[in-house]
Chain A
């Protein structure tokens, strides 16, 4: 069965802390994505990666960076967390390109105090 695993379901951090959100997929997918989801705004794309060590900015990359050292793992990094980064973060990987289906993890709810 297809699986995308996000390492932390709930995190509470303080302003200025560095935050790592980890995502692992077991499907050998090339494309992986990080979104944040906020009420009324839907899912907004932060970064995506189409291959190891490759990354592309999404619509809201400011304040975030990513790392893709291995095909199965895509990490989202908040260099200095701020309160406006309190959100639900969702990782996804892309299945067969001709269906466009994204497989999502369960999400990581981050609170920045």
Chain B
């Protein structure tokens, strides 16, 4: 069964304090691993897709990396506006385009 586990559940940072969020996954044939950002009271917004181990993607202060078992979302010099819940998800190569999500990491960045 496909599974996604994210850690930590919550992370509190000072503005400018870099850190990483972890996503561990098990999937029968990875079609893609995804990162989303979700603000309170809103639907998730897409950030990145990673397809194979060794791949990296960057967007502003965020960088996502992928290994065969994990993905990391690195946040460099975060700002208060980066505060949100970050969700990791996977699609396997069976079950159509079924996308399985982790429980998310709530990030708080204090000025």
Contact = CB atoms under 8 A, between A and B. Distances in A.
A105 B36 CA distance: 14
Interface stretch (A13-21, A40-48, A75-83): A40-48
B99 A102 contact: yes
Interface residues of A, number: 28
B43 A106 contact: yes
Interface string B68-111: 00000000000000000001010100011111111110000000
Interface string B22-39: 000000000110101000
Given A90-B43, A102-B44, A45 B96 contact: no
A101 B46 contact: yes
Nearest to B9: A40
Nearest to B46: A101
B49 interface: yes
B87 A43 contact: yes
B59 interface: no
A11 B35 CA distance: 29
B91 A100 contact: yes
A6 B9 CA distance: 28
A100 B96 contact: no
Main secondary structure of the interface of B (DSSP, over half): strand
A90 B104 CA distance: 15
A107 B43 contact: yes
A42 to B, nearest CB: 4
Contacts of A100: 31-32, 34, 49, 91, 97, 99
Contacts of B31: 100
B103 to A, nearest CB: 4
A74 interface: no
A43 B96 CA distance: 18
Given A100-B31, A107-B41, A31 B49 contact: no
A31 B104 contact: no
Interface string A5-39: 00000000000000000000000000101010000
